[in-house]
Each structure stands twice: as C-alpha cells, then as structure tokens.
Amino acid sequence: MRKFGIIGVGHVGVTVAYTLVTKGIADELVLIDKKEDKAISEQLDLQDAQARLDTSTIIKIQDYSELKDADILFLTAGKVDAAKETGSRWAEFEYTNAIVKEVAPKIKASGFNGVVIDTTNPCDAITQYLQKSAGLTTTQVMGTGTFLDTARMQRVVAEQFGANSKNITGYTLGEHGDSQFVAWSGVRVNNHPLVEFAKQQGKDLNYDDLEEEIRKGGWAVYKGKGYTSFGIATCAVKLAQAVLSDAQFECPVSCYNEEFDTYIGQPAVIGKHGVEFVNEIKLTDEEKAKLKNSAETIKEKFATM
C-alpha cells in the first residue's frame, strides 16, 4: 500500500495530489489543509476523476492520525503573495514559520515515521525547522531545494544550443533563493563540457546573464500566472518515486550539510530511507566560496526563527 500525505492543498499541493492520483502512484492519499472546505472540494474533485482512470486511490482528509503509516509526507503550504512586493522567498518566512510551529507537533503526535518532502519557502530554512520540530532524522527530511533551479538551468542552457534539456547535466547549488549559483565547471551539454562545447559552437555565452535568468525563473512564472505549480510539483513527485522505488537517484536537494551545519541545496542520493548520502562533487575555489556564502546566508536567517 503506497500511502501519501499532503499538508497544504493550494496550487502546489493539489498539483502533487492530481499527479499522484492520475498517474496511479498513490494507493491512499491524505489531504490536510487549514481550510476544511478546500480539502473537501479537492477530495470530491479527485474522486470524480477516478471513474475515468485505470487506477484507484483512496482519498481521506483532515486526519493527522492517518499519517502514522504514510510512506511519504509533502509539506506544500505557503503564501506566495507575501513575496510579491520584495521578490524574495524569505518574505514568506514569518507565515511559513508559523505553519511549521502548528503542524510539526501534529506530525510528531501522529507517529509518522516516513520521509518528508518539503516545498515550502524559504525552502532550506523551513525544511530544517520542520526536521527539528517534528523529531525526525536528517535522512528522513529533505526539501526540493535547487532540484527545481537545476531544471531551470537545464532549460536555459538547452535553449542556447537547441538541445534537449534532458541532455544538460550539472547543478544549481546553494539556497533556493537569491544566493544560489550554477556550478558551471560541471555543466555538460550532450555530455560535452559546457565551456568547451560553447567555443566549438561559436557561442559567446554571458554566464552572469544566464545565471540571473535561472535565478529569476520562478518570478517569471509568477508574473504571468500568480504562482508556480507544475515544475515544483513534478520535482516533488519525482523525489517521492525515488524513495518508493529505492531508486538511489542522484540529484540536488535541500538536505543537511555537516560542514556548514545547515540545510542547503547540494547533490545527494535518494532512496528508500530518504537522503541516503550527500554526494561530494568537485567544485572550483570560486564555487566553494559561493556555496559557503549561501550556507551562511541561510544560517543567518534561520537563527532568527
């Protein structure tokens, strides 16, 4: 029985739920939201869809005790409008901090002992706060972090060469926020090192401009539709599937870094226990300095919680 819980069924949460149900990934799904009528309506809508699906999912709502035997729990609550004025994910901090204070004791009391995947912003700080507050291990709790920012990097780089974004490899690292950076030294296009490939193709790339486009990718989506949902929900479900199948899937997520004593976007291997291990990669001295700066940025703001 593959059982999932989702706390927060706004744009991201409901997209995760829809994906889990329509793709037949979930046998059982628990939806929890501060607005009970929202949880009820989404339950009914997803139940209506099942008469036309080849799979079935039991959908329950508003019951934390049902999380006891859940395999995976998504925290997808947030208030993206709070960031509208500043353009910073930290603008949601006060709101999402309060959410964790409310839900973490309930998660703990439920007896939940699975894997948590957090999408809530500011992702790195909230993921760490949730991990500590819910009494779970750092292995069990991860955030989507720069997994989405890396996908944006793949898209932006692919557009420069008319390539398939799936054939772009490498990482966006650090904070899921303004201090993130692309580790350009490891980016490859069709398995060719980016810098060399660009020269061969006669491309004079402005890496600062590309990085800014990647960093502001979420705001570009927000500007048109008022929120982001498809990209982040796809990342969250991909991580959940890696846990369920013990895929030993290597990707950048927000997880605990022992050196910096903080959650931060970094390469890790995801399997049945959650974060199986952090995957150390080679970085240039400049990239190491950027990672340290990003970690210090997260820690400084986390200390205000």
Q: Any catalytic annotation for residue 192?
A: no
d(CA 151, CA 129): 25
Active-site residue, from 3, 89, 152, 176: 176
C-alpha torsion angle, residues 17, 122, 247, 267 (rounded to 10): 160
Q: Is 11 flagged in the annotation as binding?
A: yes
Q: Is 177 flagged in the annotation as binding?
A: no
Strand 115-118 and strand 141-143: pairing?
parallel
227's CB contacts (< 8 A; 6+ apart) are 10, 11, 12, 80, 221
* 159: its two tokens: 């557009």
Q: Is 13 flagged in the annotation as binding?
A: yes
Q: Is 10 flagged in the annotation as binding?
A: yes
Q: Is 9 flagged in the annotation as binding?
A: yes
Q: Is 12 flagged in the annotation as binding?
A: yes
Q: Is 278 flagged in the annotation as binding?
A: no
Residues placed in the known binding site: 8-13, 33
Residues placed in the known binding site for NAD(+): 8-13, 33
Catalytic positions: 176
